[in-house]
Structure 1
Amino acid sequence: MAEDLYSGALFVQVCLGWNLYLSTVLMLVVTALYTIAGGLAAVIYTDALQTLIMIIGAVILAVTAFSKIGGYQNLAEAYLKAVPAKIIPNTTCHLPRADAMHLFRDPVSGDLPWTGMTFGLSVLATWYWCTDQVIVQRSLSAKNLSHAKAGSILASYLKMLPLGVIIMPGMISRVLYPDAVSCVDPDECVRVCGSEVGCSNIAYPKLVVELMPSGLRGLMIAVMMAALMSSLTSVFNSSSTLFTMDIWKKIRRNAKERELLLVGRTVTVVLVAISVVWIPILQSSNSGQLYIYIQSVTSCLAPPITAVFALAVFWRRANEQGAFWGLMLGLALGLARMGLEFAYPSPRCGVPDERPSLVKDVHYLHFAILLCALTAGAVVGVSLLSGPPAESQVGRAGCCWSLARVPRWACQPGGRSCEQVSYFHLPLHGKDPARTLPPRSSDTEGHVADSQEGAPGTCPGMDFFCSPQGAKPEGPPAKAPRDITEAPFWARICCINAVILMCVNVFCYAYFA
């Protein structure tokens, strides 16, 4: 959240000349108003609208920027010559990297080593796209499984755009304005952007201010504000939901709806206050590169979650004790590394690097790989030393990615008896299996009568859906599980697009390697 606030306030500061903290407060007020008033529905609808605005504005700026330097062919040559006029003698930090146009960089001396890019970023991406509340909440709100898959496919297509509409325009900004974007002298950097460690964060807003005419400049300001408020609203809604439903409801089991709503809003306000206080730290972190700061912090916190998630999905022997102690070990190691990074920040240009070897010589993406492996080892070790999980806890684990025909149960009306049906032969979404199954003869003769007298049901091992044998049913009748089968046509469309996306990604990796 602090990163979103800082980047938004920085954009307003560059474009309009406003004070950084005044910009932060104004952005918070606008964002919080419609997030608190509208909830998840308002967040999703505004995100969909803002996505369209962002794409249009970013494409216009990218085309304008490429036209300014004569196209992509001139970018590589011009970028390597983009050097600020004021440099620090006997240093090379003012020079662009020779491998700037390549994705696969040296695993030892590269600023983004190819080993970290390939494996470390995969760990971080798995955490974000598969377990982060902001993303998971959207998938779970989908109408059905096909809609959830299609949303992921669309997001993947849009994720291909940043290379052409964000990264390369940022490089063009250094070509056009090297004295501002690539400054290395502390005094000069303070004059340009207020930070001693560098001004690369202003590359995109600088391009907007200098290149776009008045009308399009206003559109681009709207685009950036839309992007940042979209991220903020997502974090506001997800964080308040997570705390309220997963923590507060366990403390106050009988809390009413009004109390939960108040707690959620209070949590949002507290997180906002912490984020505002954190902004000065962002200004001086990671040589003034906000994106690098975000990834380095994520590399300390996300890998344990990725390891536990992957083992929970693919290894049936993983248990609760293993997951808990694996997360505790991973969190402790990650916080230790993060504390060292804050205590020993990257030195400015011309200052000797006296950081500890763990911080200086181990790239944060390599650390993410090591942390994920250590956490996975802890989960496996503790799980093997403790008892296996009960079959009822494992359930259908693995059936979503295997080809096995795993049986499911559907309850008869009233919630007193169940029928075994094939996992792949349930009715389409919208039809309740409980309403479509014909009653069995045993049901009509015995169980229906039993249900009228409050007798137990006949679902051995299926206590989640039906009452256990020998117990009186409590509460409302059991509801059948939500149907997740898909229409074959849309299932094939999603699979075909997933294959196309993988092929495009492989091509891009090979082309820019």
Structure 2
Amino acid sequence: HNAIEATSFGVTTEAYVKDKANLEVVDIVIVIIYIVATFAVGIWASFGGFRGTLESYFLAGKNIFWLPVGASIFASNIGSGHFIGLAGAGATGGIAIGSFEWIAPYNILMLGWMFLPIYLACGVFTMPEYLHRRFGGIRLRLTLSVISLALYVLTKIAVDLYAGALFIQQAFNINLYLAIVSLLVITAIYTILGGLKAVIYTDTMQTAIMLIGGILLMIMSFIEVGGYENLKTLYMQAIPQTTLDILASGNTTSCGIPREDAFHLFRDPINSDLPWPGMIFGIYFLGSWYWCTDQVIVQRAIAAKSLNHAKAGCLMAAVLKILPMYMIVMTGMISRVLFPNEVACAEPSECLRVCGNEQGCSNIAYPKLVLEILPSGIYETYIICLVPGAGKANSYILGLRGIMIAAMLSALMSSLTSIFNSTSTVFTIDVWKRIRKAATEKEMLIVGKLTVCVLVVVSILWIPVLLSSAGGQLYIYLQSIQSALGPPIFVLYLFGIAWPRVNEQGAFWGLISGFTVGVIRLVLDFTFGVPGCNQDETRPWIVSRVNYLHVSPIVFLISSVVTLVVSYCTKPLSRDQ
């Protein structure tokens, strides 16, 4: 047994923890109970609403009150990719990555007060459908539908599958691809329940589980490291042994050494990993695309029973987005402090041994905490009162590790099912309905479910790319793609709502121009990979010196200029449009 002791306010708590390497029966039972409860809630939510119409299936009959709306918006965003990628980015670079979470509340409130009133007034099912109503024509709607489906594969489905599989692999010590297949079986069965109503209500339950598990691990992690002030000191000393050996031999290296600005939100505007102009403007533009125009998020708000309920749901989600900085980013940093040789490894051969990825092992930061800090089985604790003759009080907590594994599965299942539902909505309404204009509602519902199967296969084929991208940092990979491809889409909706003179020709060519620039940047990123530590910089200047966060405002500006110039050089739309 390992003893953990913590003293605070005159009370000593001693916890005796069993073997950290294995799950106990209690933990496995808790995970099974969670999966059964999820299915039960999904089945219950499916009853009482007729699912034979598109509105009842894709928009839950537009009868959801504010709390499930807010919980579903939050759960759809906080997937396993967040727990794995955001914690890993925090372990590698410090607190600045949390700015993505703290800027998000402003974007969410902009959705509720600026964009939602327009969407609800138009009565649309999908975001491409709004563009069709606003600009007319069909090419803009079809183009954006194809782009959206591609983005779901590149930035959502594959990332969550990989992150969830990585966690299951760490927890149960099984093959990565076997873990992915296991996840797909669970999510496929879960998706068969069908309908946005079932997804939203299971999201509500999963949000509660995620918050309980995440906050519990955060508290125990800070206790383990001795509080925030100790974290600031110990993080800067969290250097892997391989790096220390190099330094001890008289050689110099920066590999595995924490950044000097790890506890700064605003960093050097040119040479840092997260320059402050990019943090302010870049995150704002890509966040506006994601929170205000992405089908996965907006579909939950549209399903609210009224505009007021939609706004209240947005407000709830905005408040919850404050938590990940502490619950995920800082816990990832604590993981580096506690396990520097694994989480902060910098030698490719050592990283390959530790986690199977030569690019780095920061992605195991959160799973490592779950499996090492949280006790498995029955957690026995007793409080020794520092009063003579008071004795001690015994208490038992069951399956803390099982609860956290259930929370991670909640993150995975909530995000995947939300994406699957929204993906099938876009393809069915905006693509298939254009191909087969005489398609019945029954046919369209079947097509929507089959679409999920195709996307899952494509996502699995994309996973090997994830293993070798972004220096092993999953969250950076995700944000670099969104920074390049998201802002041109936001331009369409922003100008569509705010500038009546913008027409279909301007919107279309603005999207194409901005998207082309973004794709070129991504091709360069994937062609010229990030050099390893102490390796020479061989990438072109446009890649090495222009941070991915600076790409976002650049692409936004190019797309905006083209949109306005083409619009004013062509015939305006009618006032009705």
Pairwise same-fold verdict (TM > 0.5) = yes
Q: Distance in 2 between matches of 1:350 and 1:73?
A: 31
The correspondence of residues 26-175 of structure 1 with structure 2, limited to 5 A, is 26-87=182-243, 89-175=251-337
What's the CA shift for 1:340? 1.0
8 A contact 1:35–1:42 mirrored in 2: no
Q: Do residues 180 (structure 1) and 342 (structure 2) align?
A: yes
Structure 2 residue aligned with 1:241, among 425, 439, 444?
A: 425
Query: 1:433 matched to which residue of 2?
Result: none
Structure 2 residue aligned with 1:288, among 472, 475, 484?
A: 472
How well do the aligned residues superpose, as a CA RMSD in angstroms?
A: 1.0
- Percent same amino acid among aligned pairs? 54
Q: Do residues 302 (structure 1) and 458 (structure 2) align?
A: no
More displaced 10-residue stretch of structure 1: 342-351 or 152-161: 342-351
Q: Distance in 2 between matches of 1:313 and 1:377?
A: 17
Q: Secondary structure at the match of 2:314?
A: helix
Q: Distance in 2 between matches of 1:224 and 1:302?
A: 27
Query: 1:471 matched to which residue of 2?
Result: none
Q: Do residues 357 (structure 1) and 541 (structure 2) align?
A: yes
What's the CA shift for 1:257? 2.2
Q: Which amino acid aligns with 1:241?
A: T
**Which one has a bigger Cα radius of gyration?**
1
Q: Do residues 24 (structure 1) and 208 (structure 2) align?
A: no
What's the CA shift for 1:389? 1.5
Structure 1 residue aligned with 2:522, among 335, 338, 341?
A: 338
What's the CA shift for 1:209? 0.5
Residues 255-296 of structure 1 deviation map (CA, whole Å, 9 limit, x = unaligned): 112321222122111111111111111111111000000000
Q: Which amino acid aligns with 1:178?
A: P
Q: Distance in 1 between matches of 2:195 and 2:449?
A: 11
What's the CA shift for 1:195? 0.3
Structure 2 residue aligned with 1:328, among 512, 515, 524?
A: 512
What's the CA shift for 1:350? 2.3
8 A contact 1:9–1:21 mirrored in 2: yes
Q: Distance in 2 between matches of 1:162 and 1:361?
A: 29
What's the CA shift for 1:333? 1.1
8 A contact 1:341–1:359 mirrored in 2: yes
Query: 2:367 matched to which residue of 1?
Result: 205
Query: 1:275 matched to which residue of 2?
Result: 459
Q: Distance in 2 between matches of 1:32 and 1:39?
A: 13
Q: Distance in 2 between matches of 1:344 and 1:254?
A: 47
Q: Distance in 2 between matches of 1:349 and 1:72?
A: 29
TM-score of the pair, normalised by structure 1: 0.76
Q: Which amino acid aligns with 1:36?
A: I
Query: 2:100 matched to which residue of 1?
Result: none
Q: Distance in 2 between matches of 1:178 and 1:86?
A: 10
Residues 29-85 of structure 1 deviation map (CA, whole Å, 9 limit, x = unaligned): 111212132221111111110000000000000000000011111111110110000
Structure 2 residue aligned with 1:222, among 380, 397, 406?
A: 406
Q: Secondary structure at the match of 2:193?
A: helix
Unaligned runs of 5+ in 2: 1-156, 377-398
Q: Secondary structure at the match of 1:38?
A: coil
Q: Secondary structure at the match of 2:341?
A: helix
What's the CA shift for 1:318? 0.9
Q: Secondary structure at the match of 1:105?
A: coil
More displaced 10-residue stretch of structure 1: 35-44 or 7-16: 35-44
Unaligned runs of 5+ in 1: 394-513
Q: Distance in 1 between matches of 2:484 and 2:447?
A: 29
What's the CA shift for 1:15? 1.4
Relative to total residues, which structure has the larger helix share, 1 or 2?
2
Query: 2:133 matched to which residue of 1?
Result: none
Moved over 3 A (4+): none
The correspondence of residues 437-448 of structure 1 with structure 2, limited to 5 A, is none
What's the CA shift for 1:308? 1.9
Q: Distance in 2 between matches of 1:284 and 1:221?
A: 26
8 A contact 1:34–1:42 mirrored in 2: no
TM-score of the pair, normalised by structure 2: 0.67
8 A contact 1:307–1:373 mirrored in 2: no
Count how many residue pairs are aligned between Structure 1 and Structure 2: 393
Q: Distance in 1 between matches of 2:355 and 2:190?
A: 31
Q: Which amino acid aligns with 2:182?
A: L
Query: 1:2 matched to which residue of 2?
Result: 158
Q: Distance in 2 between matches of 1:70 and 1:279?
A: 38
Q: Secondary structure at the match of 2:269?
A: coil
8 A contact 1:61–1:212 mirrored in 2: yes
